[in-house]
Amino acid sequence: MTTTPDLLPVANDFATELPELALAWQAEEAPEPRVVLLNEPLATELGLDPAPLRSADGARLLTGNVVPVGATPVAQAYAGHQFGGYSPRLGDGRALLIGELTDPAGRLRDLHLKGSGRTPFSRGGDGRAVLGPMLREYVISEAMHALGVPTTRSLAVVATGRPVRRETDLPGAVLARVASSHLRVGTFQYVAASGDVELLRRLTAHAIARHHPEAADAPIPPLALLEAVATAQADLVARWMLVGFLHGVMNTDNMTISGETIDYGPCAFMEALDPAAVYSSIDTGGRYAYGNQPMAAEWNLARFAETLLPLISEDSGRAVELATQSLGTFRARYSASFTSGLLAKIGLTSAVGDAAAVDLSEQLRGLLQESRVDWTSGFRALTAAARGDAEILRGLVVDLPGLDAWLQRWHEMGPDADLMDRSNPVYVPRNHLVEEALDAATAGDLGPVHRLLDAVQQPFDERPGLERYAEPAPQDFGRYVTYCGT
């Protein structure tokens, strides 16, 4: 194993504090690593010099073949409910936690490699990843960040120089990902299932210190942690819903304790508003359909609460009672977060308790859904209506009398067009454009990926020459299906 003292000052807090959940491991050797995309603004934010990361040593480091001094690369252990079925042993089957970076603001950030080869958690897989899905995570995670949605970030995509066999040979790649941590609900499930209450106590203290330090001073810190995670997840899912995002695989091993979006596999952005929208090829029952995402998050949080019961109270009945009360805050918090966001999208600063404004926002959703108006461009058309040009929106809606009546009531409330500009993106990663860019990249042309990134990293700024990035998919694009890319 080669080490380097220069490029990344990495600690090994997780590996040291929770060794029972950290299996020391080495990445698979990449024969010809080459940096394909490097997130220079993120590197700078982390206090890193981007230039050395582009070098040959940087490429080896970002594939795990060079290990920073002081780092202990580990595969993390966790369990999880996958589409409702419990798997007691999942873990990092094709990924390694290199360690933790401390950014200039003093925040601790995980550096994690995806596609770095087999580990003991691989369950028969080869542990590798291919270029297209790693670029997908880079593009969509950076778009989500620009949209203001809490998310893991992509630092780099590095080609390995090794073809990976799927249905055909595809170019292999590793994604270097940054997150507040990779603690998941599934991490707690793994420990709870072991019956080791002392380990559960240490994991809970670690999560509190890392993400929700205010919980340490609460009368019952584990209960305060539950409430903090429920609040973070309520706000996160509300933000997903407001931008039309479908995660696609909301298993408990994909729900973070930090409240960040993680794992962009079969994800997609909805076009026409449809609560039943499903894109994932494996979600045959619609468990994680667009409209089901809040309920799925609440279900996952109930599983999290179950893991904390031994720490909440020695009286099991009392523990269940307190946890149930805390979980009851999720729906109210989600509703308040989503409603305030929806009011901002129609330019109203009224309090969430303003029944007339809330009713108006819900009526608009009904009009958009009835006419199958594109969610993203529909709200931009509404922004134009706030400035006096309602014809674009009127050309999209079938029920013109209903829309005109709605517009009259809305104008009487004095919508703020500038607020709408800040709340309604022009550009999101349109599914057809993502696929176009990934296909081109797989064939060796990164131009479409760079152009797509240029659009979605400034999603609220309408710019000439980017018109196609604001348009819905053409009719011949057909039904979109996503897959758990590896």
* Lookup: tokens for 96: 């390694």
How confident is the model at residue 3, as a pLDDT? 46
| Contact present, 229 and 330 (Cβ < 8 Å) | no
β pairing state of 245-246 and 169-179? unpaired
Please calculate the CA angle 76-78-80 and round it to the nearest 5 degrees: 150
Q: Which amino acid is at 109?
A: R
How many other β-carbons are positioned within 10 Å of the β-carbon of residue 203? 24
Residue among 13, 235, 253, 421 flagged as catalytic = 253
Find the largest Cα–Cα distance for the chain: 71
How confident is the model at residue 49, as a pLDDT? 95
3-state secondary structure of 430: coil
pTM reported for the whole predicted model: 0.96
How confident is the model at residue 15, as a pLDDT? 96
The whole-angstrom distance between residue 86's C-alpha and the CA centroid of its chain comes to 22
CA atoms within 13 A on the CB side of 253: 20
* Lookup: tokens for 335: 């509703």
6 is a catalytic site residue: no
How confident is the model at residue 2, as a pLDDT? 52
| Contact present, 158 and 62 (Cβ < 8 Å) | yes
The pLDDT averaged over each successive group of 10 residues in the chain (486 residues) is 63 96 97 98 96 95 93 97 96 97 95 97 93 97 98 98 93 98 98 98 98 98 98 98 98 98 96 96 96 98 98 98 97 96 92 82 96 97 97 96 97 96 98 97 97 98 97 91 76
The whole-angstrom distance between residue 480's C-alpha and the CA centroid of its chain comes to 20
3-state secondary structure of 233: helix
How confident is the model at residue 72, as a pLDDT? 93
3-state secondary structure of 151: strand
- Which of 12, 5, 485 minimizes the C-alpha distance to 264? 485
Q: How far apart are CA 269 and CA 246, in angstroms?
A: 6
Q: Is the four-CA dihedral 115, 117, 118, 119 of positive or negative sign?
A: negative
